[in-house]
């Protein structure tokens, strides 16, 4: 087992954004995480990445307890993540952005630059372009490149494929496949069912802070509780 999150909760005051969520991920999987807006997916992600300290529960990565560890410790352990709202280093070039990630496993500049160049090529970006001049799809791609350069074993993608045109989407799906083939385990939060259907074998559905269903994408979209979570009570009945 690569990642094991047990009974994770996060409360903001009285509001429980994540309420006893469980997730286990085997090495080599691509797991999808879906759910309506406000279901607590991003908060759960932040707990997994060490960005948010869970109120209760434990997070084990490769046997080590990372529940209370800082985000940089998560990165060092091999958990990489992207952000829902892309946070690229806008004053730097694409290559420099990716180098910041590469420095984690390549402390010397020339090694880091060489490694970063390969990653930039793989992701189809232009090395000398200023990050500032990228549009949203470019930024999301850069975020993926940057975290990939840091050498993660587990990659948490938080809606990295949202807001892309159909063409860009196909390219992005291909990129995620490539990354997976490189041996990186992936957990992906996504609203676009096409992405989930094509990339994942196993999907967890989040609602009101907990997992309400899991299974193959085909099973999950037919699940009564899932339809209800997305469309409201009685949706199934009206449709029939």
Partner 1 sequence: MKKLLAQPASGQRVSVWLLAAALVLYPLVFSDAFYRDVGVTFLLAAISASAWNIVGGYAGQVSVGHSMFFGLGAYTPLLFYTLWGWPPLAGIPVGILLSVGLAVVIGLPTFRLSGHYFSMATIAVAELIRIFVGTWALVGGAIGLQGPAMARGWWDLTFRGDLPYYYIFLAVLALVLAVTFALERRRFGYYLRAIKSSERAARSLGVPVRRVKLQALALSAAFTSAAGSLYGVKTGFIDPDSGFGILVSVQMVIFAALGGAGTLFGPLLGALILVPLQTASNTWFGGGGSGLTFVLYGGIIVLIARFEPGGLFDLWRRLAPHLRRRAHAA
Chain residues in the site for partner 1 (CB under 8 A): 49, 51, 70-72, 74-76, 80-81, 83, 87-92, 96, 99-101, 103-104, 107-109, 112, 146-147, 150
Beta-carbon contacts of residue 212 (< 8 Å; ≥ 6 apart):
205, 206, 225, 226, 229
Q: For partner 1, which is the closer residue by CB, 47 or 226?
A: 47
CB of 81 to partner 1, least distance (A): 5
Do residues 91 and 117 make contact, with C-beta atoms less than 8 angstroms apart?
Answer: no
* 3-state SS, residue 60: strand
How far apart are CB 201 and partner 1 at their closest, in Å? 27
Cα end-to-end span (Å), the chain = 41
**Which lies closer to partner 1 via its Cβ, residue 16 or residue 106?**
106
240 in helix, strand or coil?
A: coil
Q: Find the shortest distance in angstroms from Cβ 240 to partner 1.
A: 46
Least Cβ distance, residue 18 to partner 1 (angstroms): 19
φ and ψ of 23, to 5 deg: -155, 130
| C-beta closer to partner 1: residue 142 or 213 | 142
**Min. distance of Cβ 149 from partner 1 in angstroms?**
8
Q: Distances from the Cα of 159 to the Cαs of 32, 137, 140, 147, in angstroms?
A: 11, 11, 9, 15
In the complex with partner 1, the residue whose CB is nearer, 77 or 235, is 77
Nearer residue to partner 1 within complex by CB, 78 or 209: 78
Whether 145 and 92 have beta carbons less than 8 Å apart is answered as: no
Both tokens of 232, joined, read 């409201």
Distance CA 62, CA 29 (A): 14
């Amino acid at each position: 087992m690569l990642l094991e999150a047990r009974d994770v909760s996060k409360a903001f005051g009285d509001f429980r954004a994540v309420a006893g969520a469980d997730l286990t991920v085997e090495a080599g999987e691509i797991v999808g995480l879906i759910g309506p807006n406000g279901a607590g997916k991003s908060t759960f992600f932040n707990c997994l990445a060490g960005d948010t300290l869970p109120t209760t529960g434990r997070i084990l990565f490769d046997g080590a307890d990372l529940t209370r560890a800082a985000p940089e410790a998560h990165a060092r352990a091999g958990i990489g993540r992207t952000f829902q709202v892309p946070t690229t280093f806008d004053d730097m070039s694409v290559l420099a952005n990716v180098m910041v990630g590469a420095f984690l496993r390549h402390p010397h500049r020339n090694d880091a630059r060489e490694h970063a160049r390969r990653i930039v090529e793989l992701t189809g970006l232009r090395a000398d372009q200023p990050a500032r001049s990228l549009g949203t799809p470019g930024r999301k791609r850069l975020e993926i490149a940057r975290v990939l350069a840091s050498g993660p074993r587990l990659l948490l993608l938080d809606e990295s494929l949202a807001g892309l045109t159909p063409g860009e989407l196909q390219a992005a799906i291909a990129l995620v496949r490539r990354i997976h083939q490189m041996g990186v385990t992936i957990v992906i939060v996504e609203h676009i069912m096409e992405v989930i259907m094509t990339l994942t074998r196993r999907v967890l559905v989040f609602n009101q802070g907990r997992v309400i269903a899991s299974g193959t994408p085909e099973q999950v979209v037919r699940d009564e509780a899932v339809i209800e979570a997305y469309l409201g009570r009685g949706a199934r009945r009206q449709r029939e």
